[in-house]
Amino acid sequence: MRIPPLMFVLTAVMALVSMPVMADVYFSLADFEKVSAPRFSMISAGGSTFAKLSLSPDFKLGPVDLGIDTNLYIPLTAGGYYPAEFNSLVLRRIGYDHNRIAGFEYGRLQNVTYGQGLLMSNYDSGAGGQTNAFSNEKAGVKGYVRLDDVTVKAMYTASNVKAARITYDTPLEMMGVPIVAGATYVTDEDGLNKKIDSNRVTRASQSGYAFDLAYPLGGDFMTVYSEYAKLENYSDGFSAGLRGDLLGIFGYKAEFRTFGVNFVPEYFNRTYEATSFDATRDMPGKKLTGFLIGAYGNVMGDYVRLGAEYEMYEDRNLLTAALGWQRLWDTAGVVNYKVPFQNGGQAIVSSEIAYYTNGPVDYVINWKQVAIDKNTKTESYAVGLRFNLHKMFPSFPF
């Protein structure tokens, strides 16, 4: 898709006035394109190089969604490191929803937030490992059941993270709108002890619970909320704030936070499976008070999405940001940046860019850098060729 610069600006202004936004601060390339074409990639990880040939078809079987990855990895470096996430056959996704009353999903669990996010926020079961490759060891299952005013959710991952949540639309109302009460419990009985290259990602076992209240004062326009959370091996924390969608122009979030000694906000978060944590090393050892502010927007409808959150505390300021776009000027891609609260202020950065040639072969560049802890980083990258079989063979079924 080629758009003249002036037309791009005019279209963006019109879209900002009319389109709703999505409040998230992480994107994947799959959010902006749906492609199941065969892909040939060159991957560098752990000092070794691999050739990869993959096919990722999606199927719709009545009410069931099914996605499968088939991969062939060929080591090009003799006697080198072979990442554990290199699986030949992966059940990427299977999902079912029954009239929004009950449903389940198996696969890579992303953006899992229970409650208001003080305990579990945007958890990603597939964030760990040396590369972005999805494997059976990065999978999980989650489901829900809704009965009148009560909703129950639960999840379980291959890394043994378990979570459950119950919400209740209480009889307490303000202006005819009920106050929603919720309770959450999350546990990882094993903690983390994973080897990446010559490094090891470690976390002690941890459990936590939270209680929260939310009141949608103006529907999507504004929700007022508060949450109390407790990490059993550390301390507790409290948050209160408001979030919403302002007139369809942009999303926002503003939150006050106060934490006991060594309490970690959003402990089970997007980078949980990828980073080490030790309270004596990574935490200030004192009570903290701070604020979180966030802004999220769409430009040109769904073509460009962006979001950013900024946390301010006495001894640390943390930024999370994401940018993603659909096909514009022969590229589509995502860039993600996050400085987690709990790994010494070290950033985690990833990007995935697709370049369209308008021929039978497109290019995909993938890069990931993870700060395992304050002193250790790992890096991987891949350059791939993606074959457009619809142009080569118009009757290709996927």
Per-residue model confidence as pLDDT tens for the chain (398 residues): 333 333 333 333 333 333 334 456 888 888 888 766 677 877 777 678 888 888 888 888 888 999 999 999 888 887 666 777 888 999 989 999 998 899 999 999 988 999 999 999 999 998 877 777 788 889 999 999 999 999 999 999 999 999 999 999 998 887 778 899 999 999 999 998 887 666 788 889 999 999 999 998 877 789 999 999 999 988 999 999 999 987 767 899 999 999 999 898 999 998 898 888 887 777 778 899 999 999 998 887 678 999 999 999 887 888 999 999 998 889 999 999 988 776 556 788 889 999 988 788 888 888 888 766 666 777 777 788 877 666 665 665 55
Q: Between the CA of residue 146 and those of 103, 151, 152, 166, 181, what are the distances in Å?
A: 9, 4, 6, 10, 15
Q: In angstroms, what is the C-alpha Rg of the chain?
A: 22
Give the C-alpha separation, 174 to 396, whole Å.
56
List the chain domain ranges: 5-392
329: DSSP letter:
T
- The SS3 assignment for 41 reads strand
Give the C-alpha separation, 208 to 237, whole Å.
11
HSE of 133 in the Cβ direction (CA atoms, 13 Å)?
Answer: 35
Across 323-337, b (16+ Cβ under 10 Å) vs e yields bbbbebeeebbbbbb
8: DSSP letter:
H
- The SS3 assignment for 336 reads strand
Give the C-alpha separation, 325 to 240, whole Å.
32
> Is the Cβ–Cβ distance between 201 and 194 less than 8 Å?
yes
Cα dihedral across residues 252, 334, 80, 39: positive or negative: positive
Question: 295: which 2 tokens?
Answer: 């802004």
Give the C-alpha separation, 105 to 62, whole Å.
15
HSE of 13 in the Cβ direction (CA atoms, 13 Å)?
Answer: 5
